[in-house]
């Protein structure tokens, strides 16, 4: 099933120059970019994005981290992309992430784990709505799609 997901390359990915490497992995997998924007996330938006974690000990440090510098916010589309991307990202704690995953290859600590991806189609819809207006989502066909999907 073709679906969309929200992906954020966090400030550490931007600062470390990993944007091209990570986007390249998503493209090589056959996923299609629908929207991208580099932004310094305002505190209020970060708090809404991570609302499910409010009251937990890591909430304030997480908000501080995500607002500490620019992040690349994106929408990607592909077959079962939510689950596929979560697998590509690796476990939240990079120490437990398998080699070959984004976090397993590039991250050192949970608090600096490079990337965020929606954990369900419902979360993806909510997160996409937080960061993008409908007119920013670009519908397009690619000539490679018949080589990816039956």
Query: Hey, how many other C-beta atoms are within 10 angstroms of the C-beta on 5?
Result: 28
Is residue 116 part of the annotated active site? The answer reads yes
Query: Which residue among the candidates 40, 49, 116, 140 is catalytic per the annotation?
Result: 116
Burial of 138 per CB tally in 10 Å (0-12, 13-18, 19+): exposed
Cα end-to-end span (Å), the chain = 12
C-beta separation of 54 from 102 below 8 A = no
Residue 116, by phi and psi: left (phi above 0), alpha (psi -120 to 50) or beta?
Answer: beta
Catalytic residues: 116
């Amino acid at each position: 099933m073709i679906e969309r997901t929200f992906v954020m390359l966090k400030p550490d990915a931007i600062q470390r120059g990993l944007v091209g490497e990570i986007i390249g992995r998503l493209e090589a997998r056959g996923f299609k970019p629908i929207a991208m924007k580099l932004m310094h996330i305002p505190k209020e938006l970060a708090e809404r994005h991570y609302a499910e974690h409010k009251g937990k000990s890591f909430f304030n440090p997480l908000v501080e981290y995500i607002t500490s510098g620019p992040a690349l916010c994106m929408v990607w589309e592909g077959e079962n992309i939510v689950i596929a991307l979560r697998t590509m990202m690796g476990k939240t704690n990079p120490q437990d992430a398998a080699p070959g995953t984004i976090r397993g290859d590039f991250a050192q600590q949970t608090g600096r784990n490079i990337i965020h991806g929606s954990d369900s189609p419902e979360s993806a819809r909510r997160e996409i709505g937080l960061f993008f207006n409908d007119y920013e989502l670009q519908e397009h066909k690619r000539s490679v799609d018949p080589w990816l999907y039956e």
